[in-house]
């Protein structure tokens, strides 16, 4: 699946263009809407989750996948760039790999194999787990934006050892698992035969040394479970089901970087208003006589009560527009408020009212 085609945008599209395209399509294909398409809606959300994230988008643009779990066939590897002519892979045909998937290669890791050909394994920065939560906001809050305070229990850096896992003042000793080399050699079976694979020692994290005494508070892990209050900013114009990412607000890990926090926003329905793009729609009930002669009505909006002028001769179903009373889409930019006129027909008429109507008939009205 081409995420750019899914959102109908160019590969050079800016973040704002990605967001605008997502909002438009998400509204169009939302499963709860008439004519919605759940499969298409999921594809749109998947595309947005990748292209709205700088790191994932860069990986997708470079490799055609992201390394957070996306990818197709053979563990997500793309072999289209490897030639069967010359090089270390001369004589090998990779054309079937992408179609067979990873199920046929359970006994070896393609990542391990290629790392051996290209200089072995480098030490990667560890990263804590991502966290996901759900937040519900009112229709008005989704239009103007709001803030929420949430209490989250997660792994945080140990306050006693500052994440080292060692007791304060303790000496370091050689790691017996890797003999202080920081690396361990493993053998794996592959399509190329038996390959000796070098991995980072998990006991010492590649340092070759470990503390003689571990931190008593975290037992050497470097992190402890704590509660943290976070302030979540909900941007104006957010759509139902849209995700917000807070970089570094996820779980911590020993001598690594924090994961991210993902907030899924649920917008409550409002009986009086609905959104379409940057515009807000509502209804106004108008008496028959006011529709004929014109009048002024008071209408409650998200911005407060305003006066609406009903033009003489307005028809049932006509829309009246109030500019700059819609969704906030920029610093000084808003959509419009569109008011649908519903003419209320009288259910009972007095004799005098009937006589007046008869006279109007005589006038050809």
Question: Which helix (H) or strand (E) is 176 found in, with range?
Answer: none
Looking at 13-22, 56-65, 123-132, 139-148, which range is the least confident one? 56-65
Q: Is the dihedral of CA 193, 196, 198, 199 positive or negative?
A: positive
What residues form DSSP beta bridges with 195?
188
Contacts of residue 306, Cβ cutoff 8 Å, sequence gap at least 6: 298, 299, 322, 325
3-state secondary structure of 209: strand
- Residue 268 is classified by DSSP as P
The listed range with the strongest mean pLDDT (6-15, 210-219, 259-268, 327-336) is: 259-268
3-state secondary structure of 309: strand
Q: 354 near 360, Cβ under 8 Å?
A: no
Q: Is the dihedral of CA 7, 46, 101, 107 positive or negative?
A: positive
Per CATH, is 106-269 categorized as 3.50.50.60?
Answer: no
Q: How far apart are alpha carbons 138 and 266 in whole angstroms?
A: 9
What's the pLDDT tens digit per position in 23-82? 888 888 887 777 788 888 889 888 998 999 888 888 888 777 665 544 444 444 444 444
Token representation of residue 3: 């995420």
Mean per-residue pLDDT, 221-229 = 93
Nearest CA among 123, 107, 120, 88 for reference residue 197 = 120
Gap between the terminal Cα atoms of the chain: 61
Burial of 207 (0-12, 13-18, 19+ CB in 10 A): middle
Looking at 146-150, 173-177, 230-234, which range is the least confident one? 173-177
Q: How far apart are alpha carbons 246 and 243 in whole angstroms?
A: 10
DSSP E strands in 221-277: the ranges are: 223-234, 243-246, 261-267, 274-276
Token representation of residue 178: 């890797």
Domains 1-70 and 106-269 share a fold: no
Mean per-residue pLDDT, 275-299 = 94
Tell me: pLDDT of 84 over 50.
Answer: no
Q: How far apart are alpha carbons 86 and 70 in whole angstroms?
A: 30
pLDDT at residue 314 in the model: 95
Instruction: Tell me the domain boundaries of the chain.
Output: 1-70, 106-269, 274-362
Query: 274-362 maps to which CATH number?
Result: 2.60.260.20
Q: Is the pTM of this model over 0.95?
A: no
- Residue 335 is classified by DSSP as -
Radius of gyration of the chain (CA): 31
Query: 1-70 maps to which CATH number?
Result: 1.10.287.110
What's the pLDDT tens digit per position in 242-279? 999 999 999 999 888 999 999 999 999 999 999 998 99
């Amino acid at each position: 699946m081409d995420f750019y085609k899914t959102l109908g945008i160019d590969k050079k599209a800016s973040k704002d263009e990605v967001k605008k395209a997502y909002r438009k399509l998400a509204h169009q294909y939302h499963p709860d809407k008439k004519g919605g398409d759940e499969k298409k809606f999921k594809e749109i959300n998947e595309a947005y989750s990748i292209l709205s994230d700088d790191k994932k988008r860069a990986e997708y643009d470079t490799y055609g996948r992201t390394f957070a779990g996306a990818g197709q066939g053979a563990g997500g590897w793309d072999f289209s760039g490897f030639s069967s002519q010359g090089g270390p892979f001369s004589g090998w045909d990779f054309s079937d790999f992408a179609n067979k998937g990873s199920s046929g290669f359970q006994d070896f890791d393609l990542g391990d194999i290629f790392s051996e050909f290209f200089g072995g394994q480098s030490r990667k920065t560890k990263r804590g787990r991502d966290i996901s939560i759900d937040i519900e906001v009112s229709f008005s809050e989704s239009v103007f934006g709001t803030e929420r305070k949430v209490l989250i229990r997660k792994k945080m850096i140990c306050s006693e050892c500052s994440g080292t896992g060692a007791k304060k003042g303790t000496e370091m000793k050689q790691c017996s698992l890797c003999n202080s080399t920081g690396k361990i050699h493993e053998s794996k079976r592959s399509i190329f035969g038996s390959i000796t694979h070098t991995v980072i020692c998990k006991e010492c994290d590649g340092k070759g040394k470990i503390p003689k005494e571990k931190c008593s508070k975290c037992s050497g892990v470097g992190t402890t479970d704590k509660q943290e209050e976070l302030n979540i900013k909900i941007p104006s114009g957010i759509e139902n089901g849209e995700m917000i990412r807070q970089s570094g607000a996820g779980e911590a890990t020993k001598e690594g970087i924090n994961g991210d926090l993902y907030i899924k926003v649920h917008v409550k329905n409002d009986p009086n208003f609905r959104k379409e793009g940057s515009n807000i729609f509502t209804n106004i009930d108008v008496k028959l006589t006011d529709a004929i002669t014109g009048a002024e009505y008071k209408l409650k909006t998200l911005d407060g009560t305003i006066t609406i002028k009903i033009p003489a001769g307005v028809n049932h179903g006509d829309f009246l527009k109030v500019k700059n009373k819609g969704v906030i889409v920029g610093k000084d930019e808003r959509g419009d408020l569109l008011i649908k006129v519903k003419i209320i027909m009288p259910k009972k008429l007095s004799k005098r009212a009937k006589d007046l109507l008869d006279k109007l008939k005589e006038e050809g009205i």
